[in-house]
Amino acid sequence: MIEWKDSYNIGVEKIDCQHRQLLTKLNEFFDACSKQQGKEKIEETLKFLKEYTIEHFSNEEQLMEEIDFPELAEHRKTHANFVKAVLELEETIKTKGVSVLSTIKLNRTLTDWLLNHINKCDKLIGECMATRERAV
Ligand SMILES: [Fe+2]
């Protein structure tokens, strides 16, 4: 179970709130996998994770558009890659199921990606917004 830390906050309430939710959904998915809760339950939690991810990314991209975020195209690409990875994962689980080992590996990959992305890329959105607010 990966816990949210205050240092992950980017300073934009709505986005921070969604990031916390995203981590919760990730944890739920891994919990279902590691407890071997059955394919149906695992697929269901992954579906929630996928839908929430897509919704969150689109909210974040909308915000970036609003503030004329300079690295929007790059950022969008990173989001698209992650969604692609989640879709591939969904396909793999459908055809091959999940093993404990693949769960551990997956857990690392997805959470590393998310926390890394928040800390490196999303923090820039927070900074950009703060600069703009100061300019007004
Ligand atoms: Fe992002």
DSSP sequence for 48-73 = HHHHHHHHHHHHHHHHHHHTT-TTHH
User: Tell me: the pLDDT tens digits for 28-84?
Assistant: 999 999 888 888 899 999 999 999 999 999 999 999 999 999 999 999 999 999 999
Going from N- to C-terminal start, the domains of the chain cover 10-135
Q: What CATH architecture does domain 10-135 belong to?
A: Up-down Bundle (1.20)
Compute the distance from residue 50 Cα to the ligand 1 centre, in Å: 15
Are residues 15 and 59 in contact, defined by beta-carbon separation less than 8 angstroms?
yes
Residues lining ligand 1 (ion), CB within 5 A?
Answer: 60, 122
Q: Taking the CB of residue 69, how many other CB atoms lie within 10 A of it? A: 20
User: Tell me: the pLDDT tens digits for 109-135?
Assistant: 899 999 999 999 999 999 999 988 887
